[in-house]
A and B are shown apart, each in its own frame.
Chain A
């Protein structure tokens, strides 16, 4: 139960190993790791994401055994996987839908962090490593989408790599370097395959750092207060959190399986079942759903370089979020004003995602521009100012008090919100 007692292996062999490589101590730390007892189901997505990563790695390694990374053969090899390879259809559908499930889970995970203030001191490094994982996920997903070498693969690759041509002076050289040719071509496909295989393992390494950084301050929790560890406010990770994570994972897998078995192509685009043709651009190019908000931001700017800068800026601004948020109170549960802005922001991002899937004209263009402006206002203006002027609600002294008292015992609450 207590994570602070020095761990001593019971068996002689265990002691022998542990003296040389303290793996058993690490295992004991992970098992006993004191976790806030009030974690809700929004906290189960870390485990779900680990599952998603492993699913993608395992199915990906298997697919690579049958896939051929060549412009003339890639499309046919994917069809070969779908029609000839034993269970190939299942493995490929798990992999392609798995990417969407991965992003679904990561967006919930990120928005949970935004609501409960998990990115704030002392957890900035966890947040930044998480964002690096998110960036690598987008790179891996983009390159993976290119591999089937269908029309959307080819033209998606063309549009995204051309973003780099917006860079002044060296843009065109960089684009040619990325392609390894004078357009998206076979050299582009082979390097994307190589990198697509590499990135998941980079992500795995960052996940280890993400969890390591988490285990230094410990989990944030729904009330967002610092807690003593271990104490009345904590439970050991195993079995309390493992069983909760496992239950949430089962529910998640039902949704996952629903997509895989009943609508495996609903999240994809039918144009990608047409082989790549460098002479014809599909009438309506859209990225995968998880990139749509950023695509809407890109298209909302009537200037090439400006659009590219804002699109990347929309992601990179998240890296400085811990310093843009001036509020000392972590959880939005006790922040009546921020709570409202949070939901406006959620709606704003969903709206950007919707208009990103629509043609860039008329009302959609207006909405995209309004949404883009608000997106940046939320971080640059709302976050710093609300933190300074908001009157937050009283914060409990510990997790146990409101829980055991059957309601918030305000006499026990700290009036001074400056120190939490």
Chain B
């Protein structure tokens, strides 16, 4: 290998090594600037909410705020549960059984994010073609299980993580 060839190889190596280290360094500097926009610790600290549900009559619902978003807690009547369960899976754009959307043994309680899966508006209760919810922004209809039936929304309303602390208290998050 001539001396010149050797120099070229050494130079190529130095260029590649410098670019690599430079790119890693740039990434290390840019990442904190990007990640600072993600939810901070104060936002994450608001991650659970406990709700007293003892005052809710069958057929009624309450709305609470969790992580800045409304959560609907609806105590359904037996008729409403039966109606939600009678729906054929073929009629659902986002097929999901009603049983999968409630806690076993507590199936009168429907707990879900009151956020339309289209563009995030809050649907209105007891409205729409399916007796469930209706989003006034772009016309999505949800049924008694909060499942999308008609309109531009792609998915059923989301079920957050929640549990029954006791018979009268639900912990969301």
A residues 160-179 touching B (CB-CB < 8 Å): 161-163, 165, 176-179
B63 CB, nearest partner CB in chain A, Å:
6
Decide if B167 is an interface residue (CB 8 Å cutoff).
Answer: no
Give the residue name and chain of the A residue nearest to B38 (CB): A177
Contact A182-B38, Cβ < 8 Å, known A158-B121, A163-B119, A187-B43: no
> Chain A interface: which size bin?
35 or more
Q: Point out the residues of chain B lying under 8 angstroms from A305, CB to CB.
A: 154
Contact A307-B137, Cβ < 8 Å, known A159-B119, A159-B121: no
Q: Point out the residues of chain B lying under 8 angstroms from A360, CB to CB.
A: 138-139
Decide if B86 is an interface residue (CB 8 Å cutoff).
Answer: no
Decide if B8 is an interface residue (CB 8 Å cutoff).
Answer: no
Q: Point out the residues of chain A lying under 8 angstroms from B39, CB to CB.
A: 176, 179-182, 187
Q: Does A281 lie within 8 Å of B121, measured CB to CB? A: yes
Contact A191-B37, Cβ < 8 Å, known A279-B65, A281-B136: yes
Q: Point out the residues of chain B lying under 8 angstroms from A310, CB to CB.
A: none
B contact residues, total (Cβ < 8 Å): 27
Contact A304-B67, Cβ < 8 Å, known A180-B39, A283-B136, A360-B139: no
Q: Does A185 lie within 8 Å of B136, measured CB to CB? A: no
Chain B interface main SS type = loop
Q: Point out the residues of chain B lying under 8 angstroms from A162, CB to CB.
A: 118-120
A159 to B115, CA, bound (A): 11
Contact A181-B43, Cβ < 8 Å, known A278-B70, A279-B65, A304-B154: yes
Decide if A284 is an interface residue (CB 8 Å cutoff).
Answer: yes
Decide if B171 is an interface residue (CB 8 Å cutoff).
Answer: no
A33 to B38, CA, bound (A): 49
A404 CB, nearest partner CB in chain B, Å:
59
Decide if A303 is an interface residue (CB 8 Å cutoff).
Answer: yes
Q: Point out the residues of chain A lying under 8 angstroms from B153, CB to CB.
A: 304
A158 to B63, CA, bound (A): 19
- Interface code A98-134, partner B: CB below 8 Å = 1, 0 otherwise? 0000000000000000000000000000000000000
Contact A182-B68, Cβ < 8 Å, known A187-B43, A285-B121: yes
Contact of A178 among B37, B118, B135 (CB under 8 A): B37
A282 to B136, CA, bound (A): 8
Q: Point out the residues of chain A lying under 8 angstroms from B37, CB to CB.
A: 177-178, 180, 187, 191
Give residues in A with beta carbon < 8 Å to B: 155, 158-159, 161-163, 165, 176-185, 187, 191, 278-285, 299, 301-305, 307, 360-361
Q: List 5 A-B contacts (CB under 8 A).
A: A158-B121, A176-B38, A179-B39, A279-B122, A304-B153
Q: 5 nearest interchain CB pairs?
A: A183-B68, A182-B67, A162-B120, A281-B121, A162-B119
- 20 other A-B residue contacts (CB within 8 Å) besides A159-B120, A279-B65: A158-B120, A159-B119, A159-B137, A162-B118, A162-B120, A165-B120, A180-B37, A180-B38, A181-B39, A181-B67, A182-B43, A278-B65, A278-B68, A279-B63, A281-B122, A281-B135, A285-B137, A304-B154, A305-B154, A360-B139
